[in-house]
Structure 1
Amino acid sequence: MTRIKHVLILPALIFILSIHTGNSFAQQDANGWYWLNGRPTGNTLNWVDIPPSTSDFYALGTKGTFAKSTNGGSFWSINSQVGLFDAALSRRDLRAGVFFDANTGIVAGGALVNLIQGVVSKTTDGGASWTNYQYNDTSGSVNGMHFINANTGFICGGTRVRVHKTTDGGATWSDISTGLSGTNTYNAVHAIDENNIFLAFSTRRLYYSSNGGSSWSLITLPGTTGGTTVTDVYFKDANTGYACGNPNYFAYTLNGGSTWTQSNALSATQGQRDLNYSAGVLYMLGGSRSYLYKSSDDGTSWDSIRFYDSSNVNQPSLPTFNKVAVRGTSMAIVGSNGHVTVSTNGGSNWSSMNYSVNSGSNFYQSMTTLSPTEFWITSTGGVGSLLRTTDAGSTWTQIQSSHSVAIFQLDFGSQDTAYSCAGNVAGSIGQVAKSTNGGINWTTLPAIALNHTYLTLDFLNGSTGYVGGGGSGLPANIYKTTDGAATWITQALGYSASVLSVQMVDLNYGFALSTNFHRTINGGTNWVGSALPAGTWTNMHVLNKDVVFINGSTAPSNGNPVVYRTTDAGTTWTNVSGDMPDSLTVNRTEWINLYDGVAGFTGGLIGRTTNGGMNWSVSNPGIWKYFGRCLNRQEHLVCSKQQHYIISDRKKYK
């Protein structure tokens, strides 16, 4: 069998960077990335709206995510490049927004504390492009936003934001926090007009201003305790208003906020998060994973609408719902891990717009590709399981492994015979499993060595393979089998450490990465060690018998990313880190040849070089952490070098 294997060690998500136009996936990020599993996005969505005179859905989420659907939620365009950069070159979380029509909107969210400014982002072309406008010079996080018209609006948030006002559509802002504590966090803002403004406060209270923010008074809501957080406030007119909170709390006023009456949704079991008023009906979200609450009498009594679409088994499990949007008969609810549920007939019927095949864990540990269309994902989270696709990620099948711990790597020695290694480092647990029917069924093999956690394996065929790993104070051993894992030969490297990677070029020639760099020319009978350059190493990529790349960081903590290359099988090494950004670790690299490579970093960054590492183009497509993997590991696999698969610690991307 032609040996085609692509394996990486890391925590969760798959992307593909695609430049061709024939892609059939139902959503595309503006920066060229597609989500595979976790569609339309795996990022948590914090806000949703249906702009006036449209039935479109616009949503905001973590890592600068702006999502837009113009066909009822079947197709989404994703832009994960909105707002300020964070320390990992992705964008800060978006939490609040407003759209005045299909084209013009303003959004805001998190900001790094050490930045010198806080901004809102404005679009006038439906989210295709965005312009940042500064609201202060001390940064901070925006939690709420309300506009009374296209020019005049308010934002509120954490201690550095408090309350700000604009009268020119967000271009400039003034602080109207006079008299408010600098240690308070405000979750929502609602203005009846320019003078009468209400703030939802974290500890069971509202703040109210009758003079446009020149002064503020405190309103303590009835039936609340010190543990009640007011999450939203909304007024349908000058007299009638509503407030909700966590734990399950609701109150209404009929006299402009002078007095309030508590009227909880009795069946709610969780905290309320959001209020929406449309066509004489008040909606409240957050108290249940299945029901949206509605009231036609200003919150005096409540009915419930079951919105959870149980017919879709492939949606995020146990979601938290954050926001509801209603306009006419169109409704949308969004929440954690990209959850989207919509109705186009006023809530009579609901459809989940997600595709997220759960593996029993949100963390995916490694990826193995067998062809351009078939690849496997291993997961962790207590019990390891597998995901498989045979159509390049359009659909996924969950396959249960025999492991009771996290799976670190999977390898196919032949079409039918596959092996996986797993472990728990803290528990000194290690397991190796085998499948003889193409990965469908698995059997855990007898322990190779006591207390070893197995981190890496490489099988050249169905019978011959190598396993490596280790643990605290344990010898750095490689274990070889030539009879399909019936027996194992111990190949000691001669010191105590973990074997991070073992990769064979053929039956005789191969390399191992541990504290030192090792090479064998006789199938592991002898492993010749040599010193590595200074650094802390995480993995390696073997291009051929002479060329190997190693990657990691200059120090165990607070180091800088580093990649070295050898072209003489480890005799000499050349630093090819180029202009990589500081304060990161390279978790994995993959190379098509000496010049074209990709690198995955901590913090969710991916880098690409076309000149052998002299220069790196580094970006973040809007995820948390991953290691890079190029599909084209050997020339036998036909794939454009512009296509790269990545795995990270949330969901799977293409």
Structure 2
Amino acid sequence: MKKHKIFFAVVCCLVFISNISYSQSGWVWQSPKIIGIKLNKSFFVNLQTGWVVGDGGTVLKTTNMGINWNVSSFNPAKNFYSVYFRNDNTGWIGGTNGFVIKTTNSGNNWLPVSFGTNASIFDIYFTNETTGFAACDSGKILRTTNDGVTWSSQTFFGHYPMKKIQFFNQLTGYVCYGFDFHKTTDGGITWSGTLTSSPRSGSTWRSSFFINLNTGWAVGNNYISRTTDAGANWIAQSANFSGYVNSVNFINANTGFAVGETGRLFYTINGGTNWNMQVSNTVRHFNNVMMLDSANVFAFGDNGMVYKTINSGTNWNNLSLPLTEGTVNSVFPLNQNFALIVGEFGTFAKTTDGGTNWTNYNLNTTANFKSVFFLNDLTGWIGGDSTLIKKTTNGGQSWITSHVEASTSFTSIFFIDSQTGWAASNGYGSIYKTTNSGGSWFLSYDHITANYNTVYFVNSLTGWASDYLELSKTTNGGTNWFLASNVAAERFNDLQFFNDQTGWCCGAGRIAKTTNGGLNWVTFFTGGFSSISFINGLIGYAAGAEDVYKTINGGNNWTFITKIYSHAITKIRFVDEANGWISCTDGAVLKTTTGGLTFISQTSTEISEKYSLHQNYPNPFNPTTNIKFDIHKSGIAILKVFDLLGKEIETLVDEPLSVGSYEVTFNTGSLPSGIYFYVLKTEEFSESKKMMLVK
């Protein structure tokens, strides 16, 4: 069987809002609640069932009008821009570089299909069972008359992206395109421009919507325009259209909604003669609006925004429920259930059930909190801008504020016991110390050229502080500090010590390790890193930009775990090998209960002649091995690992898979040497094989 390098189905966790249920592996979005990826387009086949697609190969589905959402990801390297269902069962999703997937069973299974183009696909529309169209970038329209088996291409002058295509019967359709608007009356065989007057001079179209053959609306930069003569003439409609209006939708000739940048929602009941702006309480961009009827409307946007109204926009509910719209600067877990976050706009939130529910506390400030440290579930401190350090003794219900005589914000707080702690600032290289539980703070170290971002102590005497360019150490509780030697200058972002001899630091260029108290440092991994977290002397995690890595040998080797698309990671913190959190920009917080993602790469989409489970390679192995298997019929596939006594070790795969060949990597973590078995099960097939781990 020919093998194709199609890294297609990195199928992510299932996330449901309300009655939340999570998959067995991966990272779960806890803020925003559904997903934190840009959402681009939606399509509903009826009042209950609809799909939303977005960046990172994201597909959302609801079968109960948005009460619950099933979230999947197909090829995270691709963005989806279009979704269309011809009926309840058959639909297409299109995106970057001609990447298209198709379902014939209401999204239970998706298969990659070819539209014969590398152009990105912004809209799809079928007029009957066999004839369909795709609006692409580079000024292309694709047409099929055999249900997508083959496609013909037409290219228009200007090579602007075709944003929206819409038909009213098998002959008459419209497409908005750059600065122009085209119409067909022969089923898409030929297209011609219709504009006598432009919707808005010098502004490109973002989208359009027609309620009938003659009446439609177009949106773009600072405008909504209307036509009543099939697109020949357009009249600008007045409203506060500052910035781009990205999407428009009408349920009849009078009632419609439009959405755009910086959280703008517009509503009309007279065909757009008047547009009223509604309150969304967000400054993020909306990209798509979908009216189910005159009362029930959805708006989808950046960072996974899902807004819904059930009363024509009188009230809008944010179903995505982000903890904050600003950056979450730090996450601090005490155990697998108790964790805290701090961030911009005075954000402080707490979970006591592993993140299923978070409580957001109003601290009556807009300060940018950058650091948090708790000794237990009641006593803790947070620090940030305006030289504030706050303390709570009741889990955040109330706070006592200490104003420290400093000139900048506190980026890190660390307490060794209930009385003694240190706080680092990033303005003029100051480290402050308290010996009375934060009641008062005194200057411990003043290094005017430093910008400290982390302070960490292994006992009451020995501690470290990381600066943008250097590392400092104390051996007398902070009375005196000296610069660490034999470590190259760079921007250091985080550090952690396992004991007074062994520690790690990470920064803009690498991860380094010392085993002799900082006398010498060895670089084991190069790249840009923002945070590091070790649970013991061997197992640790590191984050850089959007990427997460793991080591099981003290940092000597690192394995890529996952990528958090569209969000820069600010902190990564694990409490054990399985349970950890990530905090990010744009209000993102994610959690894993399995230590990271199980990766499934589809190596072929050709129909397999039979089910098969291949021998792992390498074998024997340490610490990772690859397992290949073939799926003959689409359906649920389960791949598990067991030890010699039959105890289940890990579930590698438990999800619907399409026909094809797959490969998954098994990372042994801290498992001991020995013989293990892996078992593949489907509805019609079961097979097991033996593998040997040698450490």
**TM norm. shorter chain > 0.5:** yes
> 2:135 maps to which residue?
156
CA pair 393-491 structure 1, distance change in 2 beyond 3 A:
same
Superposed CA RMSD in Å reads 4.2
> 2:158 maps to which residue?
181
**5+ long unaligned stretches in structure 2:** 1-10, 592-695
Deviates more, 1:531-540 or 1:276-285: 276-285
> 2:381 maps to which residue?
419
In percent, how many aligned pairs have the same letter? Answer: 20
Q: Does 2:74 correspond to 1:118?
A: no
> 1:593 maps to which residue?
536
> 2:658 maps to which residue?
none
CA pair 197-551 structure 1, distance change in 2 beyond 3 A:
same
> 1:480 maps to which residue?
433
- Report deviation, 1:103: 4.2
1:466 to 415, 419, 422: 422
Q: Is the 8 A contact 2:259 2:299 kept in 1?
A: no
SS of the equivalent of 1:34 reads strand
In structure 1, C-alpha distance between the alignment counterparts of 2:285 and 2:388, rounded to whole Å: 32
> 1:653 maps to which residue?
590
- Report deviation, 1:318: 7.0
Match runs of 1:54-93 below 5 Å: 55-79=48-72, 81-83=73-75, 85=77, 91-92=78-79
> 1:610 maps to which residue?
552
2:477 to 520, 523, 543: 523
1:48 to 29, 39, 42: 42
SS of the equivalent of 1:445 reads strand
In structure 2, C-alpha distance between the alignment counterparts of 1:106 and 1:273, rounded to whole Å: 22
Q: Does 2:200 correspond to 1:200?
A: no
In structure 2, C-alpha distance between the alignment counterparts of 1:573 and 1:48, rounded to whole Å: 52
CA pair 464-267 structure 1, distance change in 2 beyond 3 A:
closer
Q: Does 2:359 correspond to 1:397?
A: yes
Which residue identity lines up with residue 57 of structure 2 in the other structure? G
Deviates more, 1:489-498 or 1:383-392: 489-498
CA pair 119-62 structure 1, distance change in 2 beyond 3 A:
closer
Q: Does 2:578 correspond to 1:642?
A: yes
Q: Does 2:1 correspond to 1:35?
A: no
Q: Does 2:370 correspond to 1:370?
A: no
In structure 1, C-alpha distance between the alignment counterparts of 2:452 and 2:318, rounded to whole Å: 43
> 1:446 maps to which residue?
403
In structure 2, C-alpha distance between the alignment counterparts of 1:70 and 1:58, rounded to whole Å: 9
Q: Does 2:518 correspond to 1:570?
A: yes
In structure 2, C-alpha distance between the alignment counterparts of 1:534 and 1:138, rounded to whole Å: 45
SS of the equivalent of 1:190 reads strand
Q: Does 2:350 correspond to 1:388?
A: yes
In structure 2, C-alpha distance between the alignment counterparts of 1:101 and 1:243, rounded to whole Å: 26
> 1:285 maps to which residue?
258
Q: Is the 8 A contact 1:403 1:444 kept in 2?
A: no
- Report deviation, 1:466: 0.9
CA pair 122-608 structure 1, distance change in 2 beyond 3 A:
farther
CA pair 643-438 structure 1, distance change in 2 beyond 3 A:
closer
In structure 1, C-alpha distance between the alignment counterparts of 2:239 and 2:440, rounded to whole Å: 63
In structure 2, C-alpha distance between the alignment counterparts of 1:185 and 1:390, rounded to whole Å: 48
SS of the equivalent of 2:403 reads coil
2:493 to 538, 543, 559: 538
In structure 2, C-alpha distance between the alignment counterparts of 1:129 and 1:220, rounded to whole Å: 42
Q: Is the 8 A contact 1:316 1:356 kept in 2?
A: no
Which residue identity lines up with residue 485 of structure 2 in the other structure? S
> 2:226 maps to which residue?
251
Match runs of 1:260-275 below 5 Å: 260=233, 262=235, 264=237, 273-275=246-248
In structure 2, C-alpha distance between the alignment counterparts of 1:268 and 1:623, rounded to whole Å: 27
Q: Does 2:392 correspond to 1:455?
A: no
In structure 2, C-alpha distance between the alignment counterparts of 1:234 and 1:446, rounded to whole Å: 56
- Report deviation, 1:516: 3.3
**5+ long unaligned stretches in structure 1:** 1-16, 86-90, 112-116, 424-428, 555-561, 633-638
Deviates more, 1:21-30 or 1:392-401: 21-30
Give the total of aligned pairs.
574
Q: Is the 8 A contact 1:275 1:282 kept in 2?
A: no
Which residue identity lines up with residue 575 of structure 1 in the other structure? T
CA pair 417-467 structure 1, distance change in 2 beyond 3 A:
same
In structure 2, C-alpha distance between the alignment counterparts of 1:375 and 1:593, rounded to whole Å: 19
CA pair 535-275 structure 1, distance change in 2 beyond 3 A:
closer
Q: Does 2:104 correspond to 1:142?
A: no
CA pair 622-495 structure 1, distance change in 2 beyond 3 A:
closer
In structure 2, C-alpha distance between the alignment counterparts of 1:258 and 1:165, rounded to whole Å: 22
> 2:390 maps to which residue?
433
- Report deviation, 1:399: 2.4
CA pair 590-233 structure 1, distance change in 2 beyond 3 A:
same
CA pair 441-161 structure 1, distance change in 2 beyond 3 A:
farther
Residues 397-422 of structure 1, C-alpha deviation per residue, up to 9 Å, x if partnerless? Answer: 33244765421101235665432221
SS of the equivalent of 1:502 reads strand
- Report deviation, 1:66: 0.9
In structure 2, C-alpha distance between the alignment counterparts of 1:67 and 1:284, rounded to whole Å: 22
In structure 2, C-alpha distance between the alignment counterparts of 1:573 and 1:127, rounded to whole Å: 52
Q: Does 2:192 correspond to 1:217?
A: yes
In structure 1, C-alpha distance between the alignment counterparts of 2:248 and 2:129, rounded to whole Å: 21
In structure 2, C-alpha distance between the alignment counterparts of 1:595 and 1:190, rounded to whole Å: 58
CA pair 260-166 structure 1, distance change in 2 beyond 3 A:
same
- Report deviation, 1:616: 0.5
- Report deviation, 1:323: 1.9
SS of the equivalent of 1:653 reads strand
Greater relative CO (CA pairs within 8 A, separation 6+): 1
- Report deviation, 1:56: 1.4
Q: Does 2:449 correspond to 1:496?
A: yes
- Report deviation, 1:206: 1.1
- Report deviation, 1:464: 1.2
In structure 2, C-alpha distance between the alignment counterparts of 1:134 and 1:168, rounded to whole Å: 13
- Report deviation, 1:366: 0.9
CA pair 540-127 structure 1, distance change in 2 beyond 3 A:
farther
In structure 1, C-alpha distance between the alignment counterparts of 2:447 and 2:251, rounded to whole Å: 72
> 2:368 maps to which residue?
406
SS of the equivalent of 2:70 reads strand
In structure 1, C-alpha distance between the alignment counterparts of 2:308 and 2:365, rounded to whole Å: 38
CA pair 122-605 structure 1, distance change in 2 beyond 3 A:
farther
> 1:114 maps to which residue?
none
In structure 1, C-alpha distance between the alignment counterparts of 2:581 and 2:92, rounded to whole Å: 33
- Report deviation, 1:631: 3.0
